[in-house]
Structure 1
Amino acid sequence: MSAEALCLYAATVLLHGELQQHKYLLLQDGIIRKISDQPPPGVPLQRLTSGVLLPGFIDTQVNGGGGVLFNQQPTLAALQQMMQAHARFGTTAMLPTVITDDIEVMRRAAGAVAQAIQQAVPGIIGIHFEGPHLSTPKRGCHPPQYLRALTDAELALYQRTDLGVRLLTVAPECISPSQITQLVQSGVLVSLGHSNATADIVMAALDAGASGFTHLYNGMSALTSREPGMVGCALADSRAYCGIILDGEHLHPLAARIALNAKGATRLMLVTDAMSPVGTDEHEFAFFDGVVRRSGMKLTNAQGSLAGSVLDMASAVHYAASELGAGLAVAVQMASSTPAAFIGHSALRGAIAEGFNADLVWLNDDGTVQACWIAGHLQ
């Protein structure tokens, strides 16, 4: 038996969408090797006698955490700091997100992610470029001076093959269907957001290969009676995944419940859109040429626009389970198997199953994170 082998006894564990009791998980070389009713002989045993053991959470939109913002510090050290901050709240895999910025900042961010992946930094599995090909009317806190059309410089960056999962948020009125198809054919996941597009334009983008919507409802054309807009397309199209920010600030709980009813837990996924204060006591931070301030769970810039969130994944899961009435199993599905499917990692992560990555989170009975493992290593 490998020296890295460990057995976890879970009094309660989420398996196949159901809470089950008294299971033993053999973790070896970063993988869940066996799930059984008896402990394997000769393996160190750790007993989790309370709470519940869950698959680790996957966050596809993380701007910062632990006091750092990726745009401001596009470095390997910043990624490590962000990952450590979010692992405290059950995130075991994430896409560091660089928002609309200068091409050199984007390149440095990509270089840091490539370095993290090459060095197998726990939890860093790719990159999310949120912009710069976004709509000015729906830009939110994205700096207008950097909004621009797709050029060969950005295309070359998105087509790098050393970045792991590559996710790109675009406004479909700012990029053509043929460009979307070109990106998708090169392995880029295209998500739609920060857009004022009509339904016809949005549907053309989905037909061209776009597969997601970035922070549903926020920064997108609304659903109305005669123009369904981006929100209407997102809710109606069964192909598309939708990220949603459940911090109690970005949308009304009824709007979130409508989304869950329309999309189901297999297409609605939890994201944090987290900024640097997550995991800290920070109440304001510099953001491009201004300052973002925190009030409770709300972050706003000087113009009053929401500027990301201070949400963590454990809190998002709790909100979905309780405020939306989804229950723990469904809430965890939206934080694990659904984002895993969106990014094409359904065979690797997103569930507690034999052969899957040993990415696990142990919640206390009160819903707080007691411990977190990435690839079998306690964080």
Structure 2
Amino acid sequence: MSEPSKPQGRKFQLPEHLKVYKDVWVIVEQERGQVHSVSLELLGEARKLADKLGVAVGAVVLGEAGPDLERICGDAFAYGADVVYRVADPVLKDYRTDPYCRVMTDVVNAYKPEIVLLGATTLGRDLAGAIATTLATGLTADCTELDIYMENRSLAATRPTFGGTLLCTIQTLAYRPQMATVRPRVMAMPERDDSRTGRVVDVFPALAEDSVITKVLSFIADRERNEAQLAFADIIVSGGKGLGKPENLKLVFDLAAVLGGEVGVTRPLIQAGWATADRQVGQTGKTVRPKLYIAAGISGAIQHRVGMEKSDLILAINTDKNAPIFDFAHLGIVGDALKILPALTDAFSRRLSVNRLAS
């Protein structure tokens, strides 16, 4: 990582009482024993930041005691943690803001990490805001890049701003810990190393179920909901305003079905009522990192770009050869998506049929 731009104005020196804060932490998000992939991505990013600072990576794992919690602790080591802070209590079985915030506030105050990272998920955004408010520290949300400004050991957290038209790097200078949330699939997934081990620190919270106002009445897993799971798709075919009219979005669905992928759309299509919000890719939608991203009739404005530009392979289809998307797409086709999409669907269908027969 290159050194981020230096802050303007007088040189800042970290106050002495804040120099006791060390290490880079990731709060591991898990529900019913299933770890959210963004937490593993963040462990890889935390490893880079910690190596630059010369400190350790800590992972905080909260939940009910049992084999699932033990397995998650092992996963944290495998993906880069040096220390796991294991917080086991029946009250923490399901996520609720109040007990999770109370526990994390106590743990941070006790062990004093200098950086705390969370995923910018529904859970992570809720918890991050609560912790930052309770600790009276800074929080940079929805980051797309993290780095360290070594002169004062501050976290340089970059995020889109002004509706996604600019990228802004924010530093929390006079407060610790420095906190940031990062969207799923923005950071690369690190390689798993099962030979890695580390130290486990058991934390015993003083929690009582009777003191928690909110109660969990039922749990509905994402896989049981009829919504697009764009953040986890390996192939995404997306459509934009260049498709012309809503019925033409079927061409995108047809190609996605043949490829076994998901369908994404741009914000204008959501606003026009062509698709539901769970399919939006971009600054105000989902951030994705598929192996293949096909953009049909999408100009490539910055609001959409920040949500998909880290895809492994981007294929753009647009009638305008000067469309911004061709500046960062790996492959481009200048032409009418209404003709090219059916041709691709037919070609892939025939090719896959041949492969199935051959096998």
Which structure is higher in helix share?
A: 2
- Structure of higher CA gyration radius: 2
Q: Which has the higher contact order (CA 8 A, sep 6+)?
A: 1
Give TM class, smaller chain: under 0.3
Which structure is higher in strand share?
A: 1
Q: TM-score, normalised by structure 1?
A: 0.25
